[in-house]
Structure 1
Amino acid sequence: MKMRKRNYIPIVLIFLIIILIFAEIVSYGEEISKISSPKKLCVGGSGENNYSKIQEAINDAINGDTIFVYSGIYYENIVIDKKLSIIGESKENVIIDGGKNESVVEIISDYVVLKNLTIQRSGGRMPSAGIKIHSAHNEILNCIITKNFDGISMERSSYNLISNCSIYSNNDAGIWLHIGSKYNKISRCRIYSNGYYGIWIQSSNRYNSISNCSIYENGGGISICCSSDSNEISYCTFRENRGEGIKISNSNDNKIFLNNFIENKKKPCDKKNNYWDNGEYGNYWSDFDEPSEGAYDNDSNGIIDKPYSISCGDIKDNYPLAKKVEIGINKIPNVIILTPSNNSTVSGKIVISGKANDSDGSVKKVEIKIGNSSWIEVNGTKSWNYEFDTKKITNGEYFVMARAYDGYEYSQIYSVKINVDNKKDKTPGFEIFLIFMSILMAYVIGKKHHKI
């Protein structure tokens, strides 16, 4: 009796279809897990889907998002653990009030921007602060920091920028850098009426720069101590502080030049080896600018003819200035994107290019970001470009953003929207392999079947 023949071809075809569907599902999962374009979330105001709390918006945001905060008082303590920009409608009218409870804002993620905010009323003891930073590459711009224990506290934090802020009436320091904080920049700030020093640099903080700031009526101007080496202070005015304009102890190779020291209660103190001039220009001293004080400029070159002695050690300003240093307001640079154009559709490799300028100096670098990626430094400054392969990201809409930096401040961000439309690869290698294996399997099964 002959055995009944079985047709295995339908089984093989079903098996093939199942595997192909599975492959597509896996591919789709990979696509949706890739970079997405940033979005804007709103807090306060009258929008239908606006959040009532800043922390709620932070919790729902993803890296690269912007949170816009409308005018109002927000009684909360927030923790920022993502790459976000939090921008207020105006710094006088957007107030984050910590209710005298711990730190008002704590930043634990890199690449956070805080702009146009008032941050006030932290807890009343260490380590509470208006803003506490434990990360890098953050920007605090155009903010008011007041009525806190410390205004801004940075611990083991580097490459941060604090610019154009008013930091006043804090119980302890206006800004406290401690325990290995490096390469931070503080510029164009008014730091005044703080209970301790305007800026306190403590415990191995190196390569920080402070420029174009007015530091006055504090317990002291700036204190640098405890192995905090190679910091630079220039174009600042220290006025009517209750202690020294600058006090340095157990720290070396700090550079202080082109500053004004006016009617501070104590003379500056330097117990180590630091530089109070740059080899050409020193500082202006209100107690050493007249012949009655022994200050002569006989050759009228703007430099007093003999050095100014710094107290607490055998340190001198070798080129004291006869007149005050003019502390000008830095003008921020400008940047534009020329290619690609706004709302254009792109694919494959593209060149992102543009121009940048600075009316009162020079552009030091230009950076771009695509979607919610990190900032990338491009080639060139006045005319700049960057080649980017759009196949590295999924199809969809993205914002391409650019900013220029002049050594003190970043420009406003310039952005264009692009639509990435890369055609799907028409060589489905994995699918061909599956089809080949399925045909081979059908052939083998069929051959065995005929032998039965």
Structure 2
Amino acid sequence: MKRKGLAVGIILLFIGTCIISTVAQDTEKPLPASRGNWLYVGGSGSGNYSTIQDAIDNSSNGDTVYVYNGTYYEHVEIDKSITLIGENNNQIIENIILDNLNGIDLHYSNNNFIFKNHISGGDCGIGVDSSSNNQITENTIEGIYNFGIDIYGMFSRNNIISKNHIEHNGFGIQLGWQCYNTIITGNEIIQNTYQAILLIFSSYANITNNTLIGNAWGIHIWDSSNNTIILRNTIQRNWYGIELETNSTIVSQNTIKDNVGYGLLLLGGFNTKIDRNNFINNKIQAFFYGRFNTIWNENYWNRTRFFPKIIFGKLNEDSIFYNVINIDWHPAKKPYDIGV
């Protein structure tokens, strides 16, 4: 399903404390103090801007853009550190409709809070380029051609993506090109054409308590995305549950269920720990190619087992494939109760 963009919502972009300037305004409510200038969007003031983007383009670092309630048909792009607030609350934008080709883009912009927007249609829902310490939470993103949420760039660090509903897009969430220390938690990512969560050249991601249903891949990590924790996710009815081409990854306490192809596919890499997961009714529960130093421990394998569970794989040497095995020496006798 692809629909033209609606972004109804609440965007909180905060950087510090603020001051009132004498720019034209239309409000009876007192506004907080700020170090920079104030620019106004909507309302009836003679100096007010008619679009949010015009106000942002004419602002400087440390300024505040104040948006009156209304409907704004535009694409909003933020490439500086400003405070963006709405009429009903001194810290949020609420009840704003954005009808756009893309959703919200941050470029080299830190410490932003993107909250409770509804974004549909266009090429990218929320894009974060080389920006750190941002929170993206409780947004609904649907019908996007490419990425629901796309975070990329070597300066993108310490971002949090939480409690979003991401459905019927090309991709759900992508971390690309040297993102570092990202938390992805509590999201519902459903029926996207490709990956629900995709990591490329990214490290130290925590992927926890997400529900990933009906995508091509639940979680796909490749090209040296290292030191990732995948914990307590429900990964169900995808083509591939989890596919890893990475080092030093922990896969623990997930329910990996009813996936059409592999529940878990490991492609190369070292030092992965896979423990206390539920593997239930996947076509192939788990398989590996050339995997070394992998620890399998206390996973539930679709039924009660009293003996070690063998995991089959293949090793490629000089273009010749050899059958090899890993062993879960202590498989669980019953499924774990794993709540998301």
Deviation at 1:216, TM superposition (A): 0.8
Task: Please report the TM-score for the alignment, with normalisation by the length of structure 1.
Answer: 0.52
The SS at the match of 2:184 is: strand
Deviation at 1:296, TM superposition (A): 2.3
Task: Please report the TM-score for the alignment, with normalisation by the length of structure 2.
Answer: 0.67
Q: How many residues align?
A: 269
Structure with higher helix content: 1
Residue equivalent to 2:112: 112
Residue equivalent to 1:161: 160
Residue equivalent to 2:259: 264
Unaligned 5+ segments in structure 1 are 1-34, 124-128, 299-304, 329-452
Residue equivalent to 2:235: 238
Matches within 5 A, 1:287-306: 287=281, 295-296=303-304, 306=308
Deviation at 1:236, TM superposition (A): 0.8
Task: Please say if 1:220 is aligned against 2:214.
Answer: no
Deviation at 1:315, TM superposition (A): 4.9
Matches within 5 A, 1:276-355: 276-277=273-274, 281-287=275-281, 295-296=303-304, 306-307=308-309, 309=311, 314-315=325-326, 322-328=334-340
Of 128, 136, 143, the match for 1:140: 136
Matches within 5 A, 1:425-436: none
Q: Relative to structure 1, is the Cα distance of residues 271 and 318 closer, same or farther in structure 2, using a 3 angstrom cutoff?
A: farther
The SS at the match of 1:327 is: coil
Supply the distance in 1 between the matched residues of 2:207 and 2:234 (Cα, whole angstroms): 11
Task: Please say if 1:255 is aligned against 2:250.
Answer: yes
Supply the distance in 1 between the matched residues of 2:254 and 2:278 (Cα, whole angstroms): 6
Of 80, 83, 89, the match for 2:81: 83
Q: Deviations along 1:127-186, whole A, 9 cap, x unmatched?
A: xx2222112211112111222211111222221111111111112x11111111111111
Supply the distance in 2 between the matched residues of 1:42 and 1:197 (Cα, whole angstroms): 40
The SS at the match of 1:58 is: helix
Residue equivalent to 1:336: none
8 Å CA contact 1:240–1:264 kept in 2: the answer is yes
Deviation at 1:116, TM superposition (A): 1.7
Supply the distance in 2 between the matched residues of 1:317 and 1:43 (Cα, whole angstroms): 61
Q: Deviations along 1:387-423, whole A, 9 cap, x unmatched?
A: xxxxxxxxxxxxxxxxxxxxxxxxxxxxxxxxxxxxx
Deviation at 1:53, TM superposition (A): 2.2
The SS at the match of 1:295 is: coil
8 Å CA contact 2:278–2:302 kept in 1: the answer is no
The SS at the match of 2:57 is: helix
The SS at the match of 1:154 is: strand
Alpha-carbon RMSD: 3.4
Report the AA paired with residue 98 of structure 2.
Answer: I
Report the AA paired with residue 174 of structure 2.
Answer: W
8 Å CA contact 1:194–1:219 kept in 2: the answer is yes
Deviation at 1:327, TM superposition (A): 2.4
Deviation at 1:312, TM superposition (A): 6.4
Supply the distance in 2 between the matched residues of 1:297 and 1:257 (Cα, whole angstroms): 19
8 Å CA contact 1:184–1:207 kept in 2: the answer is yes
Q: Deviations along 1:265-310, whole A, 9 cap, x unmatched?
A: 1221002235343xxx521122399xxx773267xxxxxx644737
Supply the distance in 2 between the matched residues of 1:195 and 1:92 (Cα, whole angstroms): 30
Q: Deviations along 1:408-446, whole A, 9 cap, x unmatched?
A: xxxxxxxxxxxxxxxxxxxxxxxxxxxxxxxxxxxxxxx
Supply the distance in 2 between the matched residues of 1:240 and 1:317 (Cα, whole angstroms): 24
Residue equivalent to 2:21: none
Residue equivalent to 1:126: none
Supply the distance in 1 between the matched residues of 2:329 and 2:82 (Cα, whole angstroms): 46
Supply the distance in 2 between the matched residues of 1:320 and 1:86 (Cα, whole angstroms): 52
Report the AA paired with residue 260 of structure 2.
Answer: K
Matches within 5 A, 1:174-193: 174-193=172-191
Q: Deviations along 1:65-111, whole A, 9 cap, x unmatched?
A: 66566666533222211224556779995443323xxx432211122
Residue equivalent to 2:98: 96
Q: Relative to structure 1, is the Cα distance of residues 183 and 205 closer, same or farther in structure 2, using a 3 angstrom cutoff?
A: same
Supply the distance in 2 between the matched residues of 1:122 and 1:201 (Cα, whole angstroms): 22
Q: Deviations along 1:319-377, whole A, 9 cap, x unmatched?
A: 6553344325xxxxxxxxxxxxxxxxxxxxxxxxxxxxxxxxxxxxxxxxxxxxxxxxx
Q: Deviations along 1:254-273, whole A, 9 cap, x unmatched?
A: 11101111211122100223
8 Å CA contact 2:126–2:148 kept in 1: the answer is yes
Report the AA paired with residue 169 of structure 1.
Answer: H
Residue equivalent to 1:57: 55
Tell me the percent identity.
28
Q: Relative to structure 1, is the Cα distance of residues 144 and 132 closer, same or farther in structure 2, using a 3 angstrom cutoff?
A: same
Q: Relative to structure 1, is the Cα distance of residues 276 and 39 closer, same or farther in structure 2, using a 3 angstrom cutoff?
A: farther
8 Å CA contact 2:167–2:189 kept in 1: the answer is yes
Q: Deviations along 1:167-207, whole A, 9 cap, x unmatched?
A: 11112x111111111111111111111110101112x2111
Supply the distance in 1 between the matched residues of 2:48 and 2:302 (Cα, whole angstroms): 65
Supply the distance in 2 between the matched residues of 1:40 and 1:312 (Cα, whole angstroms): 63
8 Å CA contact 1:276–1:282 kept in 2: the answer is no
The SS at the match of 2:240 is: coil
